[in-house]
Amino acid sequence: MIPPAWFLIAVAIMTAMALLLPGPAWIGSPERFLGVVVIAVGLAMVGLSIPSFVRLRTPIHPDHTPNALIRTGMYRFTRNPIYLGMTIALLGIAVVLGVAKPLPVPFLFAFVVGRLFIRREEANLHAEFGKAYDDYRARVRRWI
């Protein structure tokens, strides 16, 4: 399963938790609109990261061998802007839902993509680019 599928599963789980296991609101109704802003920021991070793959003609699919090391755009600030953007969007969804029970899901998503994808991607990048990747990794944090 690719990361966007995990993201959609997380959205479904969070929505089901909010609808089927409601609890007290942890954020008021007017403030829940801020979640839309957080979602937009997260999705913008994803959207701004994808053109780098196209521009450098390197595969975005986590199982494919990279042929370029992306160090520009969002990748100047985080080694994983797509995963970070998805996680931020999930946090925004938790705010929009307004109940606390779905709140752990974004953190679980970050843990899962770290284990299933990021570790393997970093190993592939090291194998493919060696010192250039090690230097990049030393300068740029994994998440933020």
Helix or strand or coil: residue 45? helix
Tens digit of pLDDT for each residue in 44-98? 999 999 999 999 999 999 999 999 999 999 999 999 999 999 999 999 999 999 9
pLDDT score recorded for residue 122: 96
pLDDT score recorded for residue 37: 96
Is pLDDT above 80 for 22?
no
pLDDT score recorded for residue 46: 97
Q: Tell whether 18 is covered by a domain.
A: no
Q: Tell whether 20 is covered by a domain.
A: no
Please compute the mean of the pLDDT values over residues 97-103 and round it to a whole number.
92
In the chain, where does DSSP find H-type helix? 3-20, 34-56, 81-97, 104-113, 119-129, 131-139
Is pLDDT above 80 for 28?
no
Residue 11 and residue 93 in contact, taking contact as beta carbons nearer than 8 Å: yes
Tens digit of pLDDT for each residue in 103-121? 999 999 999 999 999 999 9
pLDDT score recorded for residue 35: 95
Q: Radius of gyration (Cα) for the chain, nearest Å?
A: 17
Tokens of 124: 């592939």
Q: By residue range, what is the domain housing residue 129?
A: 27-60+67-139
Q: Tell whether 49 is covered by a domain.
A: yes
pLDDT score recorded for residue 144: 87
- Band the pLDDT of 32: cuts 50, 70, 90: confident
In the block, residue with structure tokens 């109704």: 29
Q: Number of folded domains in the chain?
A: 1
How many whole angstroms separate alpha carbon 143 and alpha carbon 134? 16
pLDDT score recorded for residue 30: 82
Q: Tell whether 144 is covered by a domain.
A: no
Q: Tell whether 3 is covered by a domain.
A: no
In the block, residue with structure tokens 């450098």: 56
Q: Tell whether 105 is covered by a domain.
A: yes
pLDDT score recorded for residue 29: 80
pLDDT score recorded for residue 43: 98
Q: Tell whether 17 is covered by a domain.
A: no
How many whole angstroms separate alpha carbon 30 and alpha carbon 15? 19
Q: Tell whether 110 is covered by a domain.
A: yes
Sign of the alpha-carbon torsion through 50, 52, 54, 57:
negative
Higher-confidence residue of 28 and 16: namely 16
